Structure 1
Amino acid sequence: MSNKHIIFIDLDGTALYDWETMTDKTVATIKKVTSLGHIVCIATGRPYRSSKVFYDKLELRTPIINYNGALIHHPYDEHFDEISREINVNYILKVFDEIGHLIENAFCEYYENIFIYKESEDIMPLVHPDGGKIIFGEFKNTLHLNPNGFILLTYPDTYPDVEKYFMEKFAGILKFRNWGGEYQQIVEVYTPETNKGNAMQFICDYYGIPMENTIAIGDGENDVEMLKQAGFGVAMENGHPSVKEVAKFITKANTEDGVAYFLKTFFNLE
């Protein structure tokens, strides 16, 4: 089909009603879109182990973007040139040597391996532990490889100091963002090349489909690059202001099946 689209869809706050639910309406609508010959790809900050359930529910056979673009692979194509963007472990050890007193806890991930600095129930909901191998302990003793992701939990009110540190010590080397809202203490650290926009371009090249035939749907700051590069960027009503600013369309909230609403409207499904 000459007007084939690739649709990149975020999970949390976008396609998911809550932390673990995708509604039947959203599932049915996405399946209808794929039945028309369009391509749907999940683009999420989650690891593969906690996004696979939705990938399978949608019966996808496409590449999947995990860790916000730090890992791109195709579960059903062994010839797919997998992308794995990794953070130099020495940078992580340097962070703990220099500002460890500002960090309450942290975790790193490499594929399905989860390295957690301190054993604590508070951090487990962020980790998506099911299906992963957990290793507890100080990173200087446990982390001997370059991980895909690095998440810090700062002590209350120390984020400004952490932000200043990364800006001074790692400018041009590492990027970071604060999750904000109820997650003010959480800082995500990643390589400059890691973003969903770059991942989207890689998958477009894989399929030979131009960027103008892409749709990107998201709600968070980690979706901004994806929406900016897409032919048609869609923000959720519940989305961050920075996402709405770059979107061409604002759909209903995730709790109102906003993804299904947009797809039905765009593709005239009803």
Structure 2
Amino acid sequence: MVTNINKQHMIVLDLDGTSLYDWKTMKDETVNTIQELKEKGHIVIIATGRPYRASKQFYEQMGLDTPMINYNGALVHHPFDQNFKQIKQHIPTNAIMDVFESQNKHISNAFCEIGDHVFLYKEDDSINSLLHAEGASLYVGDFKETLWDDPNGFIILAEKGKGQLVENYIEDKYKDIIGHRNWGGDHQDIIEVFTPQTCKGIAIKELAKQYGVQREQVIAFGDASNDLGMLEYAGLGVAMHNASDEVKQVADTITKSPNTEHGVAEFLQDYFNLNN
């Protein structure tokens, strides 16, 4: 549990459902609060499932100069420091191909990425917002013909009510090779596939070590299952008011307000006595 607010902290922010107001907006209240904490010497890190191209604008908006965690920890890099030793995780292509082909009758669509190259099984306007394709090269078609290397991760859109069947197959055949989780709620049939080492918590632990920040001085904010690892690692794991029950159970505390009502900014202002 974080106790001394006068020490340098590492503040870790998830984006969607946490520090963002909506899919593409970070409000000034949050930006101003983060900038004030930066001026006081605290370290602010973005940890998101998004690719860099879809999180860069918020990194710049907050004026950050720190490493960034993308793809839920499959990529840890520094936008401004070419000497920073990147951390990259990749899923074996042969496993992806097997899951996709063996479970094809249960899968409506799927996509994955290698850097800024997006590989999509078939075009579907309804999932464009998931692709973050702006600024990327898009390849559409059979993965056997388009995918040339191991991707950072893999997103499967299962047929309605069939997601669990796909997850069962992955669990039975690839338990120690690839992990999986569905997005829950209204997205039970969207399945994210990743390596066992892909975890925001693992990434944060490494960055805290590099910065010389003790675990007790790490504060992490999140709202969904992909945030569980970092909330468990942090000295103070903060679930959003709008977070899933699973996340709230793991967290040390919960914000008073949701992401749409400046929940992160409000919490940090109170915690660090910024209004006094």
| In structure 2, C-alpha distance between the alignment counterparts of 1:165 and 1:241, rounded to whole Å | 26
1:110 deviates by 1.4
Extract structure 1 runs of 4+ deviating beyond 3 A: none
**Structure 2 gap segments, 5+ residues each:** none
| In structure 1, C-alpha distance between the alignment counterparts of 2:152 and 2:167, rounded to whole Å | 20
Residue 16 of structure 1 is matched in structure 2 by: 20
Query: Partner of 2:66: helix, strand, or coil?
Result: coil
| In structure 1, C-alpha distance between the alignment counterparts of 2:271 and 2:60, rounded to whole Å | 24
Residue number among 53, 57, 60 corresponding to 1:56 in the alignment: 60
Residue 154 of structure 1 is matched in structure 2 by: 158
Which residue type is aligned with residue 266 of structure 1? Y
1:96 deviates by 2.0
Aligned length: 270
Residue 261 of structure 1 is matched in structure 2 by: 266
Which residue type is aligned with residue 121 of structure 2? Y
Residue number among 45, 70, 81 corresponding to 2:85 in the alignment: 81
Is 1:224 aligned with 2:228?
yes
Is 1:30 aligned with 2:54?
no
Which residue type is aligned with residue 90 of structure 2? E
Q: How does 1:92-241 map to 2 (within 5 A)?
A: 92-241=96-245
Which residue type is aligned with residue 239 of structure 2? A
Which residue type is aligned with residue 180 of structure 1? G
| In structure 1, C-alpha distance between the alignment counterparts of 2:115 and 2:199, rounded to whole Å | 17
| In structure 1, C-alpha distance between the alignment counterparts of 2:168 and 2:186, rounded to whole Å | 21
1:165-188 Cα offsets, whole Å, 9 max, x none, are 111111111110010112122000
| In structure 1, C-alpha distance between the alignment counterparts of 2:46 and 2:272, rounded to whole Å | 19
1:31-71 Cα offsets, whole Å, 9 max, x none, are 11111000000000000000000000001000000000000
Is 1:66 aligned with 2:40?
no
Which residue type is aligned with residue 149 of structure 2? L
1:128-156 Cα offsets, whole Å, 9 max, x none, are 11111111111000111000010000011
- How high is the TM-score relative to the length of structure 1? 0.98
Query: Partner of 1:145: helix, strand, or coil?
Result: coil
Query: Partner of 1:224: helix, strand, or coil?
Result: helix
Q: Give the stretch that moved more between structures: 83-92 or 2-11.
A: 2-11
1:68-118 Cα offsets, whole Å, 9 max, x none, are 000000011111110110001111111122111111000001111100011
Residue 50 of structure 2 is matched in structure 1 by: 46
Query: Partner of 1:182: helix, strand, or coil?
Result: helix
| In structure 2, C-alpha distance between the alignment counterparts of 1:105 and 1:18, rounded to whole Å | 25
1:248 deviates by 1.4
| In structure 2, C-alpha distance between the alignment counterparts of 1:131 and 1:202, rounded to whole Å | 29
| In structure 2, C-alpha distance between the alignment counterparts of 1:43 and 1:222, rounded to whole Å | 10
| In structure 2, C-alpha distance between the alignment counterparts of 1:246 and 1:99, rounded to whole Å | 33
1:2 deviates by 7.1
Is 1:242 aligned with 2:246?
yes
